[in-house]
Chains A and B, each alone.
Chain A
Amino acid sequence: MTDDIVLNAEHVTLRYGKFVALGDISVAFKTGELTSIIGPNGAGKSSFFNVISGARVPTEGKIVFEGRDITGLPQHRYVHAGISKSFQITNIFPQLSTHENVRIAAQATVAGKNFWSKRSKLVETGEAADRLLEEVGLGGAGHRNAAELAHGQQRALEIAMALACSPRLLLMDEPTAGMSPEETKNMVQLIERLSASRTVVLVEHKMKMVLGISQRVIVLHHGELLADGTPDDVRNDPEVKRVYLGQRKQ
């Protein structure tokens, strides 16, 4: 039964003082699926993302990854457990080369603490970096400083870095934020390609884009679960319509 569940958020509650950012949310993410979490601004998407990616410890509830309770583990341990993430705001190592950016990420689970061996001898991390850059469409840009890349390329770089630890669950926080329509199109294609062989959880507010590519959509509203189902279910859900359309017409 639990075999196909990769991550289980059980009764997750997150409070800031009296404010309830997340109120008793339970979601089980299935292996191999692309699940999107959507909702209007302030719905609790980012809070939920932070909780399942280890950046915040839930006030109540548990995060269970592959049957193991990982609630409250330090953030970097999440990566070693097998959960990786890309940020809403581009987070890269600007003054290092694009290749080195990915290589550092690839090395974390292999030899991060080693201060004596030559890293040039870790051929596999260098190769992994090349392969991942190729996969996200940055094949020829390895030698360039990451700061020199265009915004869309930096987002792609960040995804390559998130993939570098071979995660069994990839979390993405608004991967198309701030992108031009052209860049968004490329990113959507990239996400579709990646999700073909991986478990991906996406947090987005662009509903249209999400409905096109997800197998499952979760809608949050005021920190609570509003809807959970296939894109078609969600599209026709009267509650979702009310929240989204109602808000827009005001």
Chain B
Amino acid sequence: MTSMDIPTLAAPTLAQPRRQSEWGLWVERHRVLLVLAILAILPVALPYPALAINILIYGLFATGFNLLFGYTGLLSLGHAALFGAGAYGCGIAVAALGLPWFVAIAAGIALAIFVAAVIGGLAIRTKGVYFSMVTLALAQCLYFIFYQWTSVTGGESGLRGVAVTKIGVEPLRIDLLDPYQKYYFFLVFVAVALAAFSRILQSPFGSVIEGIRENENRARASGYSLDWMKWMSFVLSGAFCGLAGALNAIHLGIVSIETLFYTTSGTVVMTVLLGGMGTFFGPIVGAALFLSLEDITSNWTSHWQLIAGLIFIVCVRFFPKGVWGSALARFRS
């Protein structure tokens, strides 16, 4: 008969190619739970929980960015716009419109998706470095619009009054002034997002974007619309980055205009490169490393970015696949 009765043929093809050990397969299959297990002990393991909250938020932001950069192979330099749109969408909903927190988070994601649809729709018409430049330029446009639109965004001084302090989800009462409660409240969203992210990677779409990263011509000749695939990847990436931005707005109680500045885009590129592009856990590792680095070095000197930059260069030199990516490569061989 056909290959129907051989079980390995129907096994997830993501796991099959790399000739992984049983152990490797097990890790691959339970990657979401494993990541969540590590994130669950993070605030206890780190010196203070505020750092853990930042790792959670920037880890999610970097994960969303990784969908486009690491999996689809498109380097966007405008992801600050998506993170910022999430933050402002959520912030405006709370501070100006007085909407409840869950509506505000949804509004943040929706605004980020909208911005991603517009920027992505324009940028995918270009390739390579032009793509990066177009995303950068469009994101800067958004920055200046929000900078000037003081009545809605608060302009230069930022959007103040994003006050979400107490949340009642029957029968729980969550006090967001307590950093631990805040962390685990955010972790619920990150958990759902990571599960969804993993699911996207396992979908037919997930394999096609990797194909586009590997060889655009072949993907097109195989019958895929590159425009549609790239645009969809951009939009989905926007949803994750938007959620991260929305959580950041609630976390800080303010949205600063720098959120939209191009340095935010640069930071997320560094984070993903540091952790390992195109790996599931890499962006979170990258966020943990980058933020810890910032945390430690900024105690010594106000020029901490100089030190961070040097360490970044060393890392890229010796771990071209990122810290986690290199660890994975060693683990697999």
Contacts and interface: CB of A to CB of B under 8 A. Distances in A.
Interface of A: 74-76, 78-80, 84-85, 87, 91-100, 103-105, 107-120, 122-123, 126-127, 130-131, 142-145, 161-162, 164-165
A123 B204 CA distance: 12
B220 A143 contact: no
A92 B219 CA distance: 9
B12 to A, nearest CB: 4
B217 A120 contact: no
Nearest 7 interchain pairs by C-beta: A97-B17, A79-B223, A108-B223, A115-B205, A93-B214, A120-B12, A105-B222
A53 to B, nearest CB: 8
B21 interface: no
A97 B13 contact: yes
Interface stretch (B3-11, B38-46, B132-140, B163-171): B3-11
A115 B233 CA distance: 10
B57 to A, nearest CB: 24
Given A87-B221, A115-B232, A120 B17 contact: no
B181 interface: no
A240 B229 CA distance: 46
Contact of B228 (A107, A113, A164): A113
A107 B221 contact: no
A91 B206 contact: no
26 contacts: A74-B225, A76-B224, A79-B222, A85-B221, A91-B217, A91-B221, A96-B210, A99-B13, A103-B13, A104-B208, A104-B219, A108-B208, A112-B204, A112-B224, A113-B204, A115-B200, A115-B204, A116-B203, A117-B203, A119-B206, A126-B9, A126-B10, A127-B9, A143-B16, A143-B17, A162-B221
Contacts of A131: 2-3
Nearest to B236: A115
A2 to B, nearest CB: 25
Contact of A119 (B2, B207, B211, B220): B207
Contacts, number: 143
B221 A111 contact: no
A112 B223 contact: yes
Contacts of B206: 115, 119
B251 to A, nearest CB: 29
B222 A108 contact: yes
Given A107-B204, A113-B205, A119 B13 contact: yes
A123 B4 contact: yes
Nearest to A53: B221
A143 B12 CA distance: 12
B218 interface: yes
Contacts of B200: 115-116
Given A115-B236, A127-B4, 5 more contacts: A75-B221, A76-B224, A78-B223, A93-B210, A116-B203
B239 to A, nearest CB: 11
A74 to B, nearest CB: 7
A145 B9 contact: no
Interface residues of B, number: 40
Contacts of B224: 76, 108, 112
B18 interface: yes
A165 B222 contact: yes
A104 B219 CA distance: 8
A118 B210 CA distance: 15
A122 B203 CA distance: 10
Contact of A80 (B10, B223, B232): B223
B211 A75 contact: no
B23 to A, nearest CB: 17
Contacts of A108: 208, 222-224
A110 B236 CA distance: 21
B235 to A, nearest CB: 10
A130 B16 CA distance: 13
A78 B221 CA distance: 8
Contacts of A107: 204, 207-208
Nearest to A105: B222
A203 to B, nearest CB: 15
B93 to A, nearest CB: 27
B305 interface: no
Contacts of B12: 118-120
A114 B236 CA distance: 13
B277 to A, nearest CB: 12
Nearest to B203: A115
Contact of B204 (A84, A97, A122): A122
Contacts of B298: none
Interface string B246-276: 0000000000000000000000000000000
Nearest to B196: A116
Contacts of B204: 107, 110-115, 117, 119, 122
Given A114-B203, A126-B10, A127-B9, A92 B225 contact: no
Contacts of A98: 17
A106 to B, nearest CB: 9
A116 B236 CA distance: 11
B279 to A, nearest CB: 13
